[in-house]
Structure 1
Amino acid sequence: MCIVLKTFSRGDQHRAGIAIFLLSAILGLSGCTALVGAGAGVGLAAVQERGIKGKANDIRLEALVLKKFLNAGLELTTAVGVEVYEGRAMLTGATKHKKLSDEAVRLAWQVSGIRDVINEIQLDKNSTAIDFAHDAWITTQLKSNLTFDREIMAINYVVETVKGTVYLIGVAQNKMELNKVIAHASAIKHVINVISHVRLKKKPFETL
């Protein structure tokens, strides 16, 4: 049996990102989002820098962290969000209680396989409905802008927005690409700040 390993070019990754973005939008309007989460999701993971196994492992770790949050109480689950990329857990959200933030960090570290915990939980009053609306709009706008920029491999970035601050995690091909991503984010209305935890492709342990 012969196994052929295909290397995806920059163009392949860009086209795949656009295809998945458009498919998600179309099927989302028709209520058929399950397809995107299955076959299309696997195709998208295949061209990411972290690969299918890396994506699957991050999803598993994220679920385990969220399970610990849920077991700790509803307040923690609703106040703090988590994104895991390459085993690095980025915690975001807003709470007035430092004790709650510290507890989230402690619980995330308890999950075997988590390599790093990035605490970006804002010590401030909880987000309002208007905050949520603005944040959702910013995140959607940025993802769209990145997807249609041919010089950016958007599928390698995860975007979260909390009270106007955009948080990024993922893998940049180089510093120039990362600078373009940050510029896109900064140009969006209602964005107050952009914080990057993205690593450069050739520097596994360095982030900017």
Structure 2
Amino acid sequence: MIRRLLMLTIILYGVALVQACAPVILAGGATAAVAANDRRTVGAQLDDKSIEIKSRRTLNDDPKLGDDVHININSMNGSVLLTGEASTAELRDEVLEQIRSVDGIRRVVNEIRITEPTAFANRTRDSWITGNIKTKILATKDLVSGHIKVVTEDSVVYLLGVVDRKEADLATEAARSADGVERVVRLFEYVD
């Protein structure tokens, strides 16, 4: 009887452990699928994520910036796209100086506008536009969605990725056809 109870406890404990690991296993699988569809090496993907994290930390640690700036940081193969708003040119220049001090950055694309930071409603609309474009890209024949990164700031869409020219044209058309898009900026690296 005790032996059966012990065996049942061990089995139930094992099942519980496996169930707890399921989200981790699924997340790892999803991450691997995304990484596999990206033309960048895994090392380049990790470098880009590291650049984004270090850049965000650098800006967060600067007491001069505070609520007068709203900055988005996106890295692709060491090229950093900065979007958002700074209330003064001096604050924008401070952001640029801080970002340029981060190791691993090859190039900075400055798209920071001099104006008050956008409202939450604007950012929500931008998220909706980005999702809409990603859906269109996913549905586009001859276009691998993992090759394209979509960034939207105040209805301006930035397309990044390592693509061939046909993919760039298809992604651009998908972005231009989305509701609410004012302008599309191509920041691709071409493989052909």
In the superposition, the TM-score normalised over structure 1's length comes to 0.75
Q: Within 2, Cα distance between the matches of 1:182 and 1:117?
A: 22
CA contact (8 A) 2:158 2:186 kept: yes
Of 184, 187, 192, the residue aligned with 2:174 is 184
Q: CA deviation at 1:150?
A: 2.3
Provide the aligned C-alpha RMSD in A: 2.1
Give matches, 1:26-37, under 5 Å: 37=27
Q: Within 1, Cα distance between the matches of 2:120 and 2:29?
A: 34
- CA gap of 1:177–1:77, structure 2 versus 1, over 3 A, is farther
- Residue 43 of structure 1 aligns to which amino acid in structure 2? A
Q: Per-residue displacement from partner, 1:138-181 (whole Å, max 9, x unpaired)?
A: 001111111121211221111111111011111122x2221121
1:56 paired to 2:26:
no
Overall identity of the aligned pairs, in %: 23
Q: Per-residue displacement from partner, 1:90-116 (whole Å, max 9, x unpaired)?
A: 111122311121111111111111101
Q: Within 2, Cα distance between the matches of 1:77 and 1:141?
A: 29
Q: CA deviation at 1:126?
A: 1.6
Q: Secondary structure at the match of 2:112?
A: strand
Q: Within 2, Cα distance between the matches of 1:37 and 1:91?
A: 28
In the other structure, the counterpart of 1:104 is 95
Q: Within 2, Cα distance between the matches of 1:34 and 1:66?
A: 26
Provide runs of 4+ in structure 1 moved above 4 Å. Answer: 32-37
1:200 paired to 2:190:
yes
In the superposition, the TM-score normalised over structure 2's length comes to 0.80
In the other structure, the counterpart of 2:131 is 140
Give matches, 1:139-158, under 5 Å: 139-158=130-149
Of 102, 115, 125, the residue aligned with 1:124 is 115
Q: Secondary structure at the match of 1:196?
A: strand
Larger Cα Rg: Structure 1 or Structure 2?
2
Q: CA deviation at 1:33?
A: 7.7
- CA gap of 1:56–1:77, structure 2 versus 1, over 3 A, is farther
- Residue 60 of structure 1 aligns to which amino acid in structure 2? S
- Residue 162 of structure 1 aligns to which amino acid in structure 2? E
Q: CA deviation at 1:119?
A: 0.4
Q: Within 2, Cα distance between the matches of 1:76 and 1:117?
A: 22
- Residue 94 of structure 1 aligns to which amino acid in structure 2? E
Q: CA deviation at 1:82?
A: 0.2
1:85 paired to 2:70:
no
Mark the runs of 5 or more structure 2 residues left unpaired by the alignment: 1-21
Q: Per-residue displacement from partner, 1:18-71 (whole Å, max 9, x unpaired)?
A: xxxxxxxxxxxxxx9866653311232123110211111111111111110111
CA contact (8 A) 1:157 1:171 kept: yes
- Residue 166 of structure 2 aligns to which amino acid in structure 1? M
Q: Within 2, Cα distance between the matches of 1:101 and 1:72?
A: 13
Q: Secondary structure at the match of 2:31?
A: helix
- Residue 133 of structure 2 aligns to which amino acid in structure 1? L
